[in-house]
Structure 1
Amino acid sequence: MRKTLLALTATSAVAAFTATGAFADAPRQEAMDTSSITSGTYATDPAHSLVGWRLDHLGFNDYFGIFGDAAGTLVLDTENLENSTVDVTVPISSVTVASEGLRDHLLRAGTDGAAPDFFGPSPEPARFVSTMVHPTGETSAHIMGNLTFNGQTHPVTIEAELAGMGTNMMSQKETVGFHGTTTITRSQWGMGWGTQFGLGDEVELDITVAFEKQ
């Protein structure tokens, strides 16, 4: 039903813009000039890098949360983007949600020695290591790699888009920023608690990372 409503809303919006000629009058977005970006090794700015997550809450609504302090490196080859690599680690213990009670549940130990429902009290960080970068446009790429989480490793593809670049006025370092999205099936990483009564198995990840030249 939600998809139907979104589709109807989008259709109505397109019709309205077309009827008023707004599309013709709207300014075209300038192509991003990437010529200033240089090859080399970049490190994340952990204070401004995070991973948002979203999953279905029992079929009623979606719930959101974030992981912060993402740390790692980008080795960028501007001449041959296929040779670029990404290696980023995200501390699962940094999970942030609106409900303190839910956060306690996410980090709660299992009962009587059983496995925890979710992350547990001392979760290992998640780590993504790229295996291939496939450019899909002037400022976009598919980044294929392996995600290690909850003691298991499985392949993941991130749809990445360059968000911005320049000199960071605070650190005075050459900086590039990226936005990425992907969807994982959490039970594939051994975390399927709640799926039996309708808690979503698919988790949408919304990634935003700033990398500073080293």
Structure 2
Amino acid sequence: MRRWFLAALAAATLGALSPAQAQDAAQRPGQPDVARISGGTYEVDANHTQVIWSVDHLGFTPLSGMFGRMSGTLLLDPKAPDMARLAITIPMEGLVVTSPRFAEHLASAEFFDAAKFPTATFTSTRVTVRGTQATIEGDLTLHGVTRPVTLEARFIGAGYNPQHKAENVGFTATANVKRSDFGLGEAVPMVSDEVTLTIVGAFKKRPS
């Protein structure tokens, strides 16, 4: 029954694409099939994992930036998906924005104070899986402050990556946080206190 459901899910995913898109998708090593997840410890693929943040800037435009160069692990057991555990370290030096001057401002003591707080971390405390979606509750430590944050995650694909020569899994997630909760409330309300996070998580299985 489970395999039938997964096959139907994959077929529905491909069916939503044009014939050319479906053919291309079927040839990719990653497929939307959780049966491809063997389980174990997966390491962050730093080149393909990103956290995109977005705020409202003065009511004129949404303004976004991105954190990259992350490290961490994801523990997965396909027989007990709710026991998954995620631990991520986010270096402040991995921040990418629109200009060097803006980057310097965000890294300064007026904002992230990257010299004093060079990393942020997220550690899951509870995972609730619903099919190919999951709610990940955890603790985010940023700017020396720890607050609970909830991620709404969605499974994208799994399979053997010939470049890494290892099993890969990928997810997306979203979350909302308040800057002021972490002592980063500069320019509120001219720049929105609420920050929308869009996360792309890529992981490769660690050799056993």
For Structure 1 versus Structure 2, the TM-score category normalised by the shorter chain is: 0.7 to 0.9
Judge conservation of contact 1:124–1:149 (CA < 8 Å) in 2.
no
Q: Does 1:135 align with 2:133?
A: no
Instruction: Give the structure-1-normalised TM-score.
Output: 0.80
Higher strand share: 2
**1:39 Cα deviation from its structure 2 partner:** 1.4
**1:121–1:143 CA distance, 2 compared to 1 (3 A):** closer
How large is the Cα RMSD of the aligned pairs? 1.8
Equivalent position SS for 1:102: helix
Larger CA deviation: 81-90 vs 91-100: 91-100
Can you list the C-alpha shifts for 1:29-62, whole angstroms capped at 9, x where unaligned? Answer: 7993221211111111111111111001011111
In the aligned structure 2, how far is the partner of 1:194 from the partner of 1:148? Answer: 21
Distance 1:193 1:32 in 2: 41
Point out where structure 1 has 5 or more consecutive residues left out of the alignment.
1-25, 109-115
Within 1, Cα distance between the matches of 2:137 and 2:126? 5
2:197 to 167, 191, 205: 205
Tell me which amino acid in the other structure corresponds to 2:78.
Answer: T
Which segments of structure 1 move beyond 6 Å, counting only runs of 4 or more?
Answer: none
Q: What is residue 187 of structure 2 aligned with on the other side?
A: 194
Q: CA deviation at 1:104?
A: 1.5
Q: 1:61-98, CA deviations, whole angstroms, 9 ceiling, x for partnerless residues?
A: 11010011111000001111111100011112211111
Distance 1:209-1:55 versus aligned 2 partners, 3 A rule: same
Q: Give me the whole-angstrom Cα distance separating, in 2, the residues matched to 1:32 and 1:97.
A: 32
Cα distance in 2, alignment partners of residues 121 and 146 from structure 1: 19
Percent identity reads 38
TM-score (norm. length: structure 2): 0.82
The reply to whether residue 74 of structure 1 matches residue 74 of structure 2 is yes
Structure 2 partner of 1:156? 149
Structure 2 contact 113–143 (Cα < 8 Å) conserved: no
Conserved 8 A contact 2:32-2:156:
no
The DSSP-based 3-state class of the residue aligned with 1:48 is coil
Deviation at 1:152, TM superposition (A): 0.8
Name the structure 1 match of 2:9: none
- Give 1:121 shift: 4.3
Match of 2:62 in 1: 62
- For each residue in 1:102-135, what CA deviation from the matched residue of structure 2 results, as whole angstroms up to 9, or x when unmatched? 1121112xxxxxxx22112413311000011001
| Count, aligned residues | 180
Q: CA–CA distance in 2 between the matches of 1:33 and 1:121?
A: 40
